[in-house]
A = this chain, B = another copy of it.
Amino acid sequence: MKKISEKSIERLILYRRILGNLLTENQSKIFSHQLSRLTDVTSAQIRRDLMVTGYSGSPVHGYDVEALLKSICDYIDTPGDQGVAIFGLGHLGRSVMGYFNTRQPRLKIKAAFDTDPDKVNRVLHGIRCYRTDQAKDIIETQNISVGILAVPQRIAQDVATLMVNSGITGILNYAPTRLELPPQIYVENRDMILAVEKVAYYSKKNNT
């Protein structure tokens, strides 16, 4: 299994989703140029990305949707399940829960954490909310490695540190703050303010 770029990984994840959709629509075969239209990725790029999975399509019938899907999953997924925890049950945390209910077999939200006593022990979308100080215990026993940081900016760093101390190894950070954490922790920044500013920059360009 050789090194592969972050961009390729994102695209593979995207292909996987699209293939899953196709499967539920009973489409069993697909060509790279069709997948291209569904993903806004060039067909050459798609073929290149798929190389790493080892799966080969047929020049005549294209790719078998089910087999390709399995091949991508084998490449991307870790053996066994991975747990996800949400830190912060404000609007953002709840909206993530909402979007997440799409069936994601190997990835499951197992717990939420908040300090607000009104939220603790409530169950939302089938997920129970715990006190933040219970995090270490629950994360260890439930095999949770992914944490979604959805708290106000003011406390983002403290909560992130707590997440790491509790055993989280990958963080999805929505707060507009750079987190200082040990280097072996993977952090994906999804800074909401920055995203708006970026769109503002590119949307004005078109006006001229």
* Residue positions of A touching B, CB distance < 8 A: 6, 9-10, 13-14, 17, 38-40, 76, 78, 82, 84, 90-92, 94-96, 98-100, 102, 104, 107, 145-146, 148, 150, 152-153, 168-172, 174-176, 178, 184-186, 188, 190, 192-207
Which residue of chain B has the shortest Cβ distance to A38 in the bound complex?
Answer: B178
Task: Check B169 against A203 for contact (C-beta < 8 Å).
Answer: yes
Question: What's the Cα separation between A6 and B186 when bound, in Å?
Answer: 22
Task: Check A171 against B194 for contact (C-beta < 8 Å).
Answer: no
Please state the number of chain copies in the assembly: 2
Task: Check A201 against B40 for contact (C-beta < 8 Å).
Answer: no
Given contacts A91-B92, A145-B207, A194-B14, contact A170 B200 (CB under 8 A): yes
Given contacts A91-B98, A98-B91, A178-B40, contact A145 B192 (CB under 8 A): no
Q: Which residues of B contact A198 (CB under 8 A)?
A: 6, 9-10, 13, 188
Contact of A146 among B17, B38, B150, B196 (CB under 8 A): B196
